[in-house]
């Protein structure tokens, strides 16, 4: 119940956390640059995953899903770490770690239960490494359909705000 609620509210909670973090941020050009590199790696993983994902239609086993069960969440983790590095304060790092740890764990728990129920236990086989990978090409159409542009726009906005913070 709590996991489902946290999973459902993770994006709005993220906006609240981001607002608090922005107030506390003390970025420097060096921290901003290092954080941006980390966050861009996270965005790249998310785009790669979204280009293979057929959400709620299958257990995706191509692209990064061949190597990791939750590449979208792994990408989000790197986005959050990158932002925390860019913000350049310990308090922000703690907030980011707590937010990401709690909300991503809740999202993973509820998503895995949903997939296992929807696909009659096939997700358990995938999780155990017993499902064969599928070879499928990356598709920008799937990236658009999965609305991954929102994460990229959010990344750009967050780092632009940090630039503004440095100039204030």
Q: What angle do CA 119, 122, 128 make, to 5 degrees?
A: 145
- pLDDT of res. 54: 93
Each residue's pLDDT expressed in tens, for the chain with a length of 168 residues: 787 887 788 878 888 888 888 899 999 999 999 999 999 999 999 999 999 999 989 999 999 999 999 999 999 999 999 999 999 999 999 999 999 999 999 999 999 999 999 999 889 889 998 888 888 999 999 999 999 999 999 999 999 999 999 988
- pLDDT of res. 150: 94
**C-alpha–C-alpha distance, residues 13 and 18, integer Å:** 8
DSSP, collapsed to helix, strand or coil, labels residue 27 as coil
Q: Please give the C-alpha separations between residue 36 and each of 40, 81, 95, 104, 148, in angstroms, as whole numbers.
A: 6, 10, 18, 21, 18
- pLDDT of res. 140: 98
**C-alpha–C-alpha distance, residues 34 and 15, integer Å:** 22
Pinpoint the alpha helices (H) of 25-121.
Answer: 29-50, 71-87, 90-118
């Amino acid at each position: 119940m709590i996991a489902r609620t946290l999973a459902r509210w993770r994006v709005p909670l993220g906006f609240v956390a981001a607002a608090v973090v922005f107030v506390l941020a003390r970025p420097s050009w060096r921290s901003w640059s290092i954080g941006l590199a980390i966050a861009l790696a996270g965005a790249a993983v998310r785009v790669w995953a979204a280009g293979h994902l057929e959400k709620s239609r299958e257990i995706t086993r191509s692209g990064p899903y061949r190597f990791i069960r939750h590449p979208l969440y792994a990408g989000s983790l790197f986005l959050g770490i990158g932002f925390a590095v860019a913000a350049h304060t310990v308090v922000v790092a703690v907030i980011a770690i707590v937010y990401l740890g709690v909300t991503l764990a809740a999202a993973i728990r509820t998503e895995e239960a949903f997939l296992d129920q929807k696909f009659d236990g096939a997700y358990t086989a995938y999780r155990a490494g017993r499902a064969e990978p599928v070879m499928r090409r990356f598709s920008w159409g799937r990236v658009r359909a999965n609305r991954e542009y929102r994460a990229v726009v959010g990344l750009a906005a967050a780092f632009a705000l940090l630039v503004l913070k440095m100039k204030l």
